[in-house]
Structures are given as structure tokens and as C-alpha cells.
Structure 1
């Protein structure tokens, strides 16, 4: 008699999805399919290097994906939870016994800001980052650039472009809001040294974006040949459109085993998951172990066991501030910053090693499923729920 093959689909080929798919191959009786719209893995933490042409952000899936995982290059249009089937943009359908939802996050360019969607460039995903790179390649070096948003993505983009010799203005009510006060000083000191003009405060709210300027709440107009919108992240609408319970941002609401509150055949991980409505900060730091833990939940259920409840510790934030400097912000395990950081060249070296190790960890799990070890995080039972929490990488 032929042993049954369990069909497991993974939606999304980012950090969480790749780790989940690789861990699932630790059982021989699982047929694992990863559905992703691109034929290569995207190092999102290097997209600012892609647009400034100081590095690449594409990695061949052969390098980071177990060879037992089938890669389907397509987009998911709908999840039919009743039939346990997904409908793809190509018109094909795939059936599943278990589904890992790791759809990731997207750049949130608000329709409420006139001109932002039309004239603003995002670098949160491969396609918009490639468009931004193409636009910059046609732009004269002295042309002014405005980066909107002072989170980690905005800081890294502004620094990378300024170090390449471009005049950059960074507009944000607060630069580095997730950092400690000393960490923010480290970042802003380096930005100033690179020549980045910082426009901060309550009035530094963009009210409109034009083809050659941005307008602020206090009436100021800042010249901008290219406006980079890096003010926050969103998530795909697939889960909500498919009838799954989501939080205010659209992330799948799960319990602490990453199981959907609607369906124990669906688990979620990474940026598009909200365990107990207390989503982790959007980051590869959270997504890598979440992918593994979501896969462990599926493996436990197939084995007839109760899945474990394990939280993810968040220990630091790594920020590149150009190629020659960076800031490592030390955190408590609950992701709150402390007044301790490493900056300058040391921070840059640590950041680069982190970028390299994320790929090595995925490749290691691909070569030897089960090799990646997760550490137990803090008790999350008393943490406040945050339906509308904004992810800032």
C-alpha cells in the first residue's frame, strides 16, 4: 500500500515562507509547494542597495530552498477554505491538506495623500524597487531626492542615496521612532555627515506629492525630482478577501501556535500574521523563526500531537547608514529598546554579517531541515493587543 502524501502549500517565498517550506521537508510524506510571484528570493533588507546600485537583492531559490520543495511561480487570487484549495492568477488551482500563509508585507503608499500613489516610489518590494532604480539611473546626480518616512527603511534609503552623491532630504515627524534616544543620535549624526537634510517635527507631515515637489502641513514646498515613499508598511488583502479573520491591517489572526482562529488547517507566519492580535515588528528577525514555528505546528498536527506555544525573542535592530557606518540598537526580548547601541564602522560590519547570515540560515535549513534552532521569547499573554500596529522595518 502506498503511504499517504500530505499536500502542504506555502503562500509567499520570503523569509518566513522559505523557512517554513524547508522545515516541512523534514518529513518524507509531505509534498510541499511554495507559491511565489517571482522566480527568485528577494533580500528585502538589501533593496536600498539595489536602488542605489551598491549591491544586489536577488538570490536564486536553488541556493536557499530544499530541492524537494516545488516552486510555483504565480500569484494567489483566492483561498477557498471550504474546498481547501487556492486559485492562482494563471487560472490554475492547487489543493492542500495544510496551508502556510506567509504572504509578507507591502509598501503602504496612502491614497489619502494627493499625488503620493502617482508620483511616489516605494522600495518595499522587488518590482517598485526596480522601477525606482530605473528612474534614478535616468536622473542627473545633482537632482534633489526626498525620502518620506523616518523608519529603518527610510533611514537606510536616505543614507545609501546620499553616500552615492545625491542630495537627499529626509522628511518625518520622528527619525528612528523605534530606536532609543542614543540610537537615534547615532543615526542622525551619520545622516548629517552624509549631507542628508532632516525635516522633522509635527509640521513634517506630507500633504501632497507632485512631479517635482512635496508639500508639507505647514505650507513648505520641498523640491523633489524623485520622491521615495517609505512611511510604513501594509499587507496583501488576500487573507481578508478569502474570509479569514484579520486584524485592522489585514494580517491573519492566529493563536500562539500560529494557527488561524478560523481553521486549524491554516497557519500564518511573518509580516502577514498577528498571533493573538499582537503582531511582531515586521522584520526578517521575526519572520525566520516564525516560519519554522508555523511549520512545526503543521508537523505536530500531522503527527497527531499538540503544537507547542513558543514566542519569538526580539533582541536588536540593525540599520545600515550607508556602506561605511551602521547602528546596532540593542533591545529587550519584548522588542523595547534600551540605551545601548553600537555605531560607526562596527555597526556597519554587524549589519552586513546579519544580512549574510539570513541567507546562510535559510540555505542551512534547506540542506538540513531541522538544523535552524529557535530561542524561546517572553510570555506574550499580558502584552496589549494592537489591531492597527504599524510595521516599521
Structure 2
């Protein structure tokens, strides 16, 4: 090192999902940054395809060697605690890593259920390990064994549709209506497809208990279920809370509008685990890319001594697959509120597949040309409660 050279800045990215992997590649926009990506798995999991993996119609693992630039160091381990005083991350293996800046991109997990027996007897399709166990369990069962999917969101619909198309006997239990954020016409199309493929859709139903071979509804009806798939809601890892950082009720890191932690301006959040101004964006691979890129831009602005730009992301809608040959592309306003326009059928399936491919393609694009990913801006979010002042503990 010459006497005039500047020491490299150490940036840790915690989490190698859509937001974290993209962020690690994008950090190469500045040459004096040493980049380390911490991920608990040696491979990238294409989570938007987990329902395919469960049904045996597609794979989800992608070699990080095909996604990350060679300048990104991959550490296969789990971050156990962030120490903001020493700027270190303690790993589950017992070692520690130093950082100058940290991008918090731990992603999301399956939701926990306050329903008797759900955690013990239901399976989740939200993470790879759980999805693998679920797939193994299904492979052991005859096709006509009753399968129950709890949750009428997009994850539940996709799981139910994929299994039904494979000949499974499926019941979908929805707390309200299937795909409640979609337009009325799109919801009708989804229910029609599910019914045509033998899925028993129960709307406005509540599960009171999950048993090893059944689900019990709130009205007392007991329905046989050889496998119960819990697809209701999401959670997040507890790393921020365990590290003494302020979070929202779900555990997402509380940040300002530049995605900077309210407690430490050396920590910047991205993806599903970020709660800007206490009001997070919808958990999705669509939002993960812009949030990962914005987090990097905030870090680079701070390194350059400039003021980071505030968060700006515009939505355009959402997709849901109905098996391998049909799908729905619901259009929406920039603020993510659905309009009465959707694209269905094979065209909807094609758009859904393109959307899935883009999640991985954007990461690879940043590996080839850091800073190349752009995204629609100008969307608004509903009013959120005022976030606590930075560095002031909430009562």
C-alpha cells in the first residue's frame, strides 16, 4: 500500500436473498470496498419457485458462483448477533467479522401460527429446508391423500394450484377471500380455475386447531388432512431484535426513508426485513431488488460524504401462477392498489414466468455491470405512524 492510498472499507451484507445478493454485486460501483456476503446456505434459493419445488415441478437452488462477482467473498454461516459498539458480527460458528458498514438483508420466514397444533403438525413452504421436508412428506403419500393449504394469499394459492394440477386432492382454507389484494374479477378467475381443478375453496373460514391427520375449523367441523400446509403470513429472523436494534412488531429493522437504522447510521436495511418509517413495502421479490439497490446507494453516499436519497419505489401489480400453464397478472397503481384490469390464461403464466426469471437476472446483471439495475419510482405509501427519533429508545 502506498503512503497516499486509502484503506479499503469493509462492507458486510447479511443475507443472500434477492436483496442481499444484488446489493453485494452492486457495491462494486466503488472500487475501494471489500465486500463479504454472509448466508446460511451455500446456494441461492429462488424462493418464488418454492411452490414448484414442493410439487416436484421445478428446482430452486442456484449456484452462487453463477450469481456473484468474483470480488464478493461468500461466508456460509449464520449471523448470530450484531455488535454496533465494536462494529462486528458474531457468527454461529464462533468467529467474528468486522465492518465499516452493514447491509441488513436477512429476508423473511414463514409466519408463526397462534393456532393449537400448527407449529407441531403443519408444514411451511416459505423456506427451503421446510419446503424440502414438505416435498419428502408428499412423496410418501398416495395422490388421493387429502392435502389442506391454510392461507388464501398468493403463496397459498400457488401451492394449492401446483398440487392440484399434479392430481392431488386439495382444500384451500382462506380467512377472507382468495387473493384479497386482487381485483374482484381476478379473484373470480382464480376461484374458477381452482374449482375446475378440484380444489375445495373455503372462504371466510378459520382454523382452530391442527391435528396430525386433520384440521378443526372454528365452527367445530373436523376435516381429514394427511398433510397440512401453513401458508398464512410471514415472519422475519430475530437478528435485529437480538442485537438490541429497534424493530417493528414483526421484527423488521426500523429505518428512516434512506433505509438507515434509527439506532446506527452504519447499518442499512434492504428487502423483507426493512421497515422504513415503520411502514414496510409489500414483501416480494419485486420490492427486494429496488430495496437492495437503494441500500447500496445509501452506503455509497455515506462513504462519499453526500446525502443519501430517500426511498422511492413504484409498484405495477402482482402475479400468481395457477399451475404450469395458467396465471394471473394483476395490474395496480404505483401505490400497489389493484385496478380492475388483469391478464389471465397463458399470457398471465408467461408474464409470471418472466417476472420470476427477472429476480435472478437482475442479480447477474449487477455482477456484470454494477449500478445497472434501475426501477420505477414515484410510488407513495399510506401514512405511517411517526418513527421514533434516531438514537432515542422507544418507551
TM category (shorter chain) comes to: over 0.9
Cα shift readout 1:74-124 (whole Å, capped 9, x = no counterpart): 0011111111000000001001000000000000131x2111011100010
Q: Aligned to 2:254, what secondary structure does the other structure show?
A: strand
| Displacement of 1:187 | 1.0
Post-superposition offset of 1:345: 1.0
Across the two proteins, how many residue pairs are aligned to each other? 383
2:351 corresponds to 1:340: no
**Partner of residue 146 from structure 2, selected from 135, 140, 144:** 144
C-alpha distance in structure 2 between counterparts of 1:59 and 1:305, whole Å: 36
Deviation sequence 1:347-384 (CA, Å, 0-9, x none)? 1111011111221111111111011112223244x623
Is 1:237–2:235 an aligned residue pair?
no
Q: Is this contact kept in 2: 1:279–1:386, CA < 8 A?
A: no
The aligned counterpart of 1:285 is: 286
In 1, are the aligned partners of 2:313 and 2:376 still within 8 Å (CA)? yes
**Which secondary structure state, in structure 2, belongs to the residue aligned with residue 51 of structure 1?**
helix
2:117 aligned partner: 115
SS at match of 1:373: coil
Deviation string 1:300-329 (CA, Å, 9 cap, x unpaired) is 110111111131111110100111110001
Check if 1:74 corresponds to 2:86. no
Tell me the distance in 1 between the aligned counterparts of 2:67 and 2:352: 20
Regions of 4+ moved over 2 Å? 377-380, 382-387
1:17 has 2:20 as partner: yes
Q: 3-state DSSP class of the match of 1:65? A: coil
Structure 2 residue aligned with 1:252: 253
Secondary structure of the residue that 1:305 maps to in structure 2? Answer: coil
Shift of 1:63: 1.6
1:310 touches 1:377 (CA, 8 Å); kept in 2?
Answer: no
- The Cα offsets for residues 210-266 of structure 1, whole Å up to 9 and x where unpaired, read as 111000000111110000000000111110111111111110111111001111100
In the other structure, the counterpart of 1:88 is 91
Tell me the residue number matched to 2:384: 384
Q: CA RMSD in A?
A: 1.2
Alpha-carbon distance between aligned partners in 1 of 2:71 and 2:324, rounded to the nearest angstrom: 37
TM-score w.r.t. the length of structure 1 is 0.96
- Structure 2's unaligned 5+ residue stretches are 388-395
Structure 1 residues 323 and 373 mapped into 2: Cα distance closer, same or farther (>3 Å)? same
1:131 to 130, 133, 139: 133
- SS at 1:147 equivalent: strand
Q: State the TM-score, normalized to the length of structure 2.
A: 0.95
Residue 369 of structure 1 corresponds to which residue in structure 2? 370
The aligned residue for residue 391 of structure 2 is none
Aligned to 2:102: 99
Q: Does 1:179 align with 2:182?
A: yes
Is 2:7 the counterpart of 1:4?
yes
Contact 2:277–2:384 (CA<8 Å) still a contact in 1?
Answer: no
**In structure 2, distance between residues paired with 1:305 and 1:109:** 41
Q: CA deviation at 1:386?
A: 10
Query: Could you say which residue in structure 1 is the equivalent of 2:262?
Result: 261
**In structure 2, how many angstroms separate the alpha carbons of the residues matched to 1:246 and 1:109?**
17
